[in-house]
Amino acid sequence: MDLNYLFNLNTFIELLLGISLSAAAGFRVFVPLLALSVASVFGHLDLPTNFDWVETPQAVIVFAVACLLEIIGYYIPWLDHLLDIVATPAAFIAGTIVTASVAPDMNPLVQWTLALVAGGGTAGLTQGLTNILRISSTGVSGGLTNPVVSTIELLIAIGLSVLALALPVVAGVIVIGFLIIAIQRIWNFFLNKPSSQINETVSPSRELG
């Protein structure tokens, strides 16, 4: 029965919804959680029974406050890098939760395995790319352009969350394309990092020679 679910069109659309919201969590952890909670409270989404707590006004308030604090924190120069460290595991958890919450009723093992791989993995990749962009921004401008980067990340998180809830298939296609780019960028970042460090180490010795 669970295999039939996996190949069901509705399940595929719900999985795209979960992946899209997970990608948004990689930009801002609490934005998609707030969007999911608001959508479920107003009846746009019908979540599984074990996620009834998301469909409460109390959850909306908690996510809204957390979202506001997260947004403000990324505009504080020294705090944005600290938030990046905390946001990486938090995004993975948020991505797993949102994907599991929109998944149809199925065997819990299948549900959470899909959520961990698809949702958590998507959020982790997105968060990894944002970390690289912030490091690059700090290196180039000394952190002066970080507020601009934070604003762009916030707008993407909001836009992607809204698009995922309205047009999950479109959002899913965009996210899949983005993930391909993210994997390439992250791979190139770590591939080129050792060589750049070697060059930095060798250059002073050449100057002394």
CA distance 143 to 139: 7
Task: State pTM to two decimals.
Answer: 0.82
Segment 142-183, tens digit of pLDDT: 778 888 989 999 999 999 999 999 999 999 999 999 888 878
Q: What is the DSSP letter of 54?
A: G
- Domain-by-domain residue ranges, the chain? 2-208
9 pLDDT above the threshold of 80: no
CA 95 to chain centre: 6
Copy the structure tokens of residue 158: 């909001």
Segment 42-82, tens digit of pLDDT: 999 888 888 989 999 999 999 999 999 999 999 988 888 78
The alpha carbon dihedral of 135, 136, 139, 143 has a sign of: negative
2 pLDDT above the threshold of 60: no
Query: Is residue 51 within 8 Å of 177, Cβ to Cβ?
Result: no
Segment 77-125, tens digit of pLDDT: 888 878 888 888 999 999 999 999 988 677 788 888 889 999 999 999 8
Copy the structure tokens of residue 63: 């996510």
204 pLDDT above the threshold of 60: no
Residues 132-137 have a mean pLDDT of 80
Which pLDDT score is estimated for 118?
Answer: 92
Coil, helix or strand for 48? coil
pLDDT confidence band for 1 (50 / 70 / 90)? very low
Which pLDDT score is estimated for 194?
Answer: 53
